[in-house]
Amino acid sequence: MQIRCTQADHQNQQIIGVCIDITCQNQRPYCHFCLTLHVNHLPMLTPFNLLNEWIYQRIIRVNNAYNNIQELKVSLDNLMNQFYPYFNYNIHQISELGLSQIDRLIAGLCQIEDCEKVLFLQLKPLIEQVKSTINDILKKTKNQSNLKENINNQIQHNINQLNLEYSGPFQQLKQNIKPIKFELLKQYSIKQGERCNSVAFNKDCSIVAVGCESLIKIFEFKQGILQQTHILNQHKHGVSALYFMKKSNQFISGDYKGFILIWASNHVNQWICSQIVRQQNDIINCLILNNNEDIIISSSNDNTIKFWTKKNEWICQQTITDHKRWISQLSFNEKQNQIISCGWERLILVIEYSEQVKKWMVIQKIPVDCQGLRLCFINDNLFTFQPKKGNLIYVYEMNSLSKSFTKTKHITVNQGDDTYQYFPQQYIKSKQFLVSKHDKYINLIRKTDNDEFQVEYSIQFGSQALFGQMSDDGEYLITWDDLSKEIQIRRCIEE
């Protein structure tokens, strides 16, 4: 960074760093001649080569503060929702109510009155304290009016840019979208008594791998028909995750004991295990690769996320330990610079690759009100999260200013309490729908205009023990459930 000092008598010296002392009254960017002005706080001088990382860490803190405020806002909104039924209540309508309606009205008002006598007395001083703290923060933050004007201008600019860049292609895409349903190809179902936790398609949907207990069955797949070609028995424990590479004829598999196996097809179409790695001590729940296929990311019941890179062999380069319970699913964004994760604790992590330190770093911890077993990036600014219990899918969007994710809406699906963590969420970009398993259902959810979502088609099964995957083109869905004990194939039909 070539910046010259503008202080008088400093001979246009190059700026070499910045003072980060909060009490400093001098010019913060400094040159060699400026050092005497900062003699009382020399330890607070930061060279330019360290400035980016210093700013990066403070941005993370700002994001965390923003998320805490959002969490408080959600709590206040939930509290306000309790009062909405009574706002501007028309007292003259009581005569038109039935006995059960009057009973619920009186019970609700009594509960609020009881809360007012006890809990609201505790809440009032806390509210005053929060208001006072906010006023202090605002007093210390200068140029608020200019900042607000700049923010509004930037938002409008972003909106205009989005309209210019995407209106044409998006309108064309909308015209091509047709209603869908999935037809069961019953005649092609395969009886399979052993449990199948994982299914994976290869890059052109010509091969399907299915994890059947400790075996991996390889099928040739053509026009909805599965023809078994190989059985791989190198795993000694149940296979829990499969992932086909897109650029090469390889796939990876993980099992109940933390082993990851790398498979490659040789010139005679035999599948050979080229490497076995193990640095995780429990079930491998999810395996994903980046587009360049030089990074494997794995998550496990040992509460860790591991990043594997290819040298001569795959080696573990980094471990994330911020989760304190089992980690169910991982998902890459489109730019491949962020990963999200969730599991059996009430937390979503947003992990980003830092070019400065050449490592993956947790940049946001999103507290949630429930456990969640599935999540999926829709694009760089949008992802979905399936809570374990209830009838909602949460939608998170990136704030264009803070660059952090917040929950902005939800999708209503079937009621359920899911206990099985396999069968990851999947977004089919070409058809603009999300595949999301919840309890005994597979929901096909269409993304509509303005990033809205609606359930377009649901498939009900007789069991929660339901696993599978959809082909990348959205044409076929392959599942196994422990009621039918069949590998079933469904074909997409556009109406």
Nearest CA among 235, 280, 291 for reference residue 261: 235
Q: Please answer whether residues 270 and 230 qualify as being in contact, where contact means their C-beta atoms are separated by less than 8 angstroms.
A: yes
- The per-residue pLDDT for range 194-235, each reduced to its tens digit, is 999 999 999 999 999 999 999 999 999 999 999 999 999 999
Share of the chain above pLDDT 70, in %: 87
pLDDT-derived band at 367, boundaries 50, 70, 90: very high
Q: Are 244 and 390 in a shared domain?
A: yes
Residue where a domain terminates, one of 33, 59, 86: 86
pLDDT-derived band at 89, boundaries 50, 70, 90: low
Identify the pLDDT of residue 166.
42
Q: Is the pLDDT of residue 371 over 80?
A: yes
Residue where a domain terminates, one of 38, 61, 86: 86
User: How would you classify the pairing of strands 250-255 and 433-438?
Assistant: unpaired
Q: Are 190 and 335 in a shared domain?
A: yes
Q: Are 76 and 193 in a shared domain?
A: no
Identify the pLDDT of residue 190.
96
115 within some domain: no
- The per-residue pLDDT for range 314-348, each reduced to its tens digit, is 999 999 999 999 999 999 999 999 999 999 999 99
- The per-residue pLDDT for range 126-164, each reduced to its tens digit, is 777 877 877 777 777 654 444 444 544 554 554 454 444
Which position has the higher pLDDT, 400 or 297? 297
Identify the pLDDT of residue 176.
53
Q: Is the pLDDT of residue 350 over 60?
A: yes
CB atoms under 10 Å from CB of 99, counted, come to 7
The C-alpha atoms of residue 459 and residue 129 are separated, in whole angstroms, by 51
The C-alpha atoms of residue 14 and residue 32 are separated, in whole angstroms, by 8
Q: Is the pLDDT of residue 283 over 60?
A: yes
Identify the pLDDT of residue 236.
93
254 within some domain: yes
Query: What is the pLDDT of the chain when averaged over all its residues?
Result: 85
Q: Are 264 and 374 in a shared domain?
A: yes
Residue 284: give the domain boundaries. 174-494
Q: Are 182 and 82 in a shared domain?
A: no
Q: Which residues contact 303 (CB under 8 A, 6 or more apart)?
A: 321, 323, 324, 325, 326, 327
Q: Are 209 and 70 in a shared domain?
A: no
Nearest CA among 320, 420, 308 for reference residue 374: 420
Q: Is the pLDDT of residue 100 over 90?
A: no
pTM for the whole thing? Answer: 0.66
Q: Are 48 and 185 in a shared domain?
A: no
Identify the pLDDT of residue 165.
44
Identify the pLDDT of residue 209.
97
Q: Are 217 and 326 in a shared domain?
A: yes
156 within some domain: no
Residue where a domain terminates, one of 45, 68, 86: 86
Report the 3 state secondary structure along the chain. CCCECCCCCCCCCECCEEECCCCCCCCCEECHHHHHHHHHHHHHEEEHHHHHHHHHHHHHHHHHHHHHHHHHHHHHHHHHHCCHHHCCCCHHHHHHCCHHHHHHHHHHHHHHHHHHHHHHHHHHHHHHHHHHHHHHHHHHCCCHHHHHHHHHHHHHHHHHHHHHHHHHHHHHHHHHCCCEEEEECHHHCEECCCCEEEEEECCCCCEEEEEECCEEEEEEEECCEEEEEEEECCCCCCEEEEEECCCCCEEEEEECCCCEEEEEECCCCCEEEEEEECCCCCCEEEEEECCCCCEEEEEECCCCEEEEEECCCEEEEEEECCCCCCEEEEEECCCCCEEEEEECCCEEEEEEEECCCCEEEEEEEEECCCCEEEEEEEECCEEEEEECEEEEEEEEEECCCCCCEEEEEEEEEEEEECCCCCCCCEEECCCCEEEEEECCEEEEEEECHHHCEEEEEEEECCCCCEEEEECCCCCEEEEEECCCCEEEEEEEEEC
490 within some domain: yes
Total of domains in the chain: 2
Identify the pLDDT of residue 159.
42
Identify the pLDDT of residue 437.
96
229 within some domain: yes
CATH number at residue 261: 2.130.10.10
Name the range with the highest mean pLDDT among 55-69, 158-172, 211-225, 446-460: 211-225
124 within some domain: no
159 within some domain: no
The tokens for 430 are 């070409």
106 within some domain: no
Counted residue by residue, the chain has a size of: 495
- The per-residue pLDDT for range 398-428, each reduced to its tens digit, is 988 888 999 999 999 999 999 898 999 999 9
| pLDDT average, residue stretch 56-81 | 75
- The per-residue pLDDT for range 19-60, each reduced to its tens digit, is 998 888 888 899 888 888 898 888 889 888 888 888 878 888
Ramachandran angles phi, psi of 13, nearest 5°: -65, 155
